[in-house]
């Protein structure tokens, strides 16, 4: 996860959360997939006035969300999204969770079906530090941002930003906006082609829509 940029209501707010919040239109119906402790959902309710709902796989996270007055239920993105009708939310958000699902392509397809707009943040496993560790040490990368050994990581699928963009093409999803970020969640302050972002960005936020 990215480093803490600031706090909100006693919760640590990641840099990608701030970017996501800026992309969500005000007063919309939002579904947050992988709500964790409710930080992002609370931020969206406070700053964007959204009518927010959430799904979280771990009961401890659900309890924390409910204790803050958030409407979050326990559920699994791999199995439970099919229960939602088409376009039942204005925006569906998934932050730093897609890589931990068993079937990311199917999950993405469901997100694009449920939401008129989809906002996803993902880590970039093709960052240059990861490449250097694999090249020179011959071991799976461990960094401050991805601080897990290969045997205890919650990340099941390792993808690069270019991999994600290609998946969007396969699913006929239009990338309306993309923001490349450092590990601390700071926006990289210049434009560049995807192959550059794929080397220097540690994470990114994508705003998607399917015609």
Give me the residues paired with residue 117 across strands: 91
Average pLDDT over residues 45-56: 96
Note the pLDDT tens digit of each residue in 115-161.
999 999 999 988 778 778 777 777 666 666 666 666 666 667 788 99
pLDDT tier, 3 (very low <50, low <70, confident <90, very high otherwise): very low
Both tokens of residue 177?
Answer: 């906006």
Average pLDDT over residues 77-91: 96
Cα–Cα distance for residue pair 125/205, rounded to 1 Å: 14
Give the pLDDT confidence score for residue 52 in this predicted structure: 97
pLDDT tier, 1 (very low <50, low <70, confident <90, very high otherwise): very low
Give the pLDDT confidence score for residue 2 in this predicted structure: 40
Percentage of the chain exceeding pLDDT 70: 86
Instruction: Set out the domains of the chain in order of their start, with CATH numbers.
Output: 4-125+155-209 (3.40.50.150)
Strands (E), 34-168: 51-56, 72-74, 89-95, 115-123
Note the pLDDT tens digit of each residue in 52-79.
999 999 999 999 999 999 999 999 999 9
44 touches 53 (CB < 8 A) = no
Q: Give the chain's largest Cα–Cα span.
A: 50
Give me the residues paired with residue 118 across strands: 92, 208
Q: Helix and strand tally (H, E) in the chain? A: 7, 9
* Residue bearing tokens 């990608």: 16
Give the pLDDT confidence score for residue 158 in this predicted structure: 83
Cα–Cα distance for residue pair 152/141, rounded to 1 Å: 13
According to DSSP, residue 79 is labeled T
Which tops the pLDDT comparison, 21 or 134? 21
What is the pairing mode between strands 115-123 and 203-209?
Answer: antiparallel
Q: What is the mean pLDDT of the chain?
A: 88
Give the pLDDT confidence score for residue 141 in this predicted structure: 63
Q: Which whole-number Å values give the CA distances from 64 to 7, 49, 68, in the listed order?
A: 16, 20, 7
Which tops the pLDDT comparison, 8 or 118? 118
- Reduced to 3 states (helix: H, G, I; strand: E, B; else coil), residue 50 is coil
């Amino acid at each position: 996860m990215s480093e803490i940029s600031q706090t909100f209501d006693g919760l640590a707010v990641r840099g990608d959360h701030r970017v996501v919040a800026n992309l969500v239109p005000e007063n919309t119906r939002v579904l947050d997939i992988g709500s964790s402790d409710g930080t992002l959902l609370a931020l969206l309710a406070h700053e964007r006035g959204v009518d927010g709902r959430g799904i979280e796989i771990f009961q401890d996270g659900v309890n924390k969300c409910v204790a803050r007055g958030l409407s979050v239920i326990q559920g699994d993105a791999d199995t439970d999204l099919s229960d939602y009708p088409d376009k039942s939310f204005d925006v569906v958000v998934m932050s730093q969770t897609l890589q931990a699902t068993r079937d990311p392509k199917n999950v993405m397809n469901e997100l694009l079906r449920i939401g008129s707009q989809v906002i996803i943040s993902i880590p970039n496993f093709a960052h240059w530090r990861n490449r250097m560790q694999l090249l020179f040490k011959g071991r799976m990368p461990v960094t401050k941002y991805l601080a897990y050994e290969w045997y205890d990581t919650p990340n099941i699928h390792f993808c690069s930003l270019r991999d994600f963009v290609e998946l969007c093409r396969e699913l006929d999803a239009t990338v309306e906006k993309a923001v490349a970020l450092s590990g601390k969640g700071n926006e990289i302050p210049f434009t560049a082609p995807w192959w550059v972002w794929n080397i220097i960005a540690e994470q990114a936020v994508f705003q998607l829509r399917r015609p």
